Amino acid sequence: MLSKIEIIKELLNDFCNEILNCPAYAKICHRVLHELDQHPDHPLDRGKENIWAAGIAHAVGSINFLFQTSSSPHISVNDLNYFFGTRATTTGKKSLDLRDLLHISPYNSAYQINQTYSDDPLDQIKDAIVKKFGVSEEDVEAILNSVNRPDCPVIPKTDYSAIRIIPKQKFWDWVETQIDLDQIDPKMRQDYNIYLIYDIELKSSIEEELRLKYKEIWEIEATRYINSDSDFPTGSFLEFLQWFEVRVSSHVMDLTGELLDDFNEEDFDDELGSNDNNFPPDFSLN
């Protein structure tokens, strides 16, 4: 009988080698798995094998631009969860937990994978540091080289947006045409999905990013309750906002991946006003 570690490793091998066709991803995923296995808190003692495998793959993919269409290899978050048989909210939380635990970030070369992109991610990171932190181009290399040392003269911060999607009554009215709502656990209806978008990757506003990805998010939300082979509604972005409430918060860390601030329920419960340029306008009035 295979051990828990061996099962997780086998799942990661299948995903990295057969789906991504990228042994380099498997190597980094194995590194993360080994570090989790050796961690003094023994995190692997809790949780299912497929959820750990999905969380590891998601964490490594998140910092290596796996979910950007311009990268190679590329896969959607929805397809990743489909392969491992996991839910987006569960995988996302596991990925976030282990990134926090192991300090996995785009700035830690131990977890980077050499790939080919239409735009060099490292150059994007350097440009973002210059723009966001007022650091000269000459100092960027020194900062990145010293950021994991205690004598680093400056620890700049980065952040990513946490977008929570909350189904409105129009969504539930549609779900009721597909299944009996009484079959859904009430707790599941309150377990909202959270989508993370790194600001350092973001080339546009949150609204523009949502306009690009709303159909994918719509399908992810629907497949939580309806079979993936069902006919899903394919409305406009304005209709998406009529079906779902969108709330935004932020999650801040330094360049080592150390958390400096965390989003919580209070952050999400604060409605962002119309003066916030990163929040989509309210087109949801009936």
Give the pLDDT confidence of 43-94 residue by residue, as tens digits. Answer: 999 999 999 999 999 999 988 888 877 778 889 888 999 999 998 888 988 9
Tokens (6 digits) for 194? 């959270």
Phi and psi for 132 in degrees, rounded to 5?
A: -85, -30
* Residues carrying CATH 1.10.472.10, the chain: 4-111
C-alpha count within 13 angstroms, C-beta hemisphere, residue 265: 3
Locate tokens 């978008």: which residue? Answer: 197
Tokens (6 digits) for 38? 């050796």
pTM value is 0.48
* Residue 285 pLDDT: 32
Q: Taking the CA atoms of the chain, what radius of gyration do you get in angstroms?
A: 20
* Residue 256 pLDDT: 45
CA distance 281 to 286: 14
* Residue 159 pLDDT: 54
Burial class (CB in 10 A: 0-12, 13-18, 19+), 178: middle
CA distance 276 to 198: 18
SS3 (DSSP) at 191: coil
- State which fold the 4-111 domain adopts: Cyclin A; domain 1 (1.10.472)
Selection from 35, 46, 41 nearest residue 102 by Cα: 35
Phi and psi for 36 in degrees, rounded to 5?
A: -65, -40
CA distance 155 to 19: 37
| pLDDT tens figures, 16-29 | 999 999 999 999 99
Residue ranges, the chain, pLDDT below 70: 107, 114-162, 191, 194, 196-206, 228-230, 232, 249-286
- Within 10 angstroms of residue 217's Cβ, the number of other Cβ atoms is 20
* Residue 107 pLDDT: 66
* Residue 99 pLDDT: 86
* Residue 284 pLDDT: 33
* Residue 52 pLDDT: 96
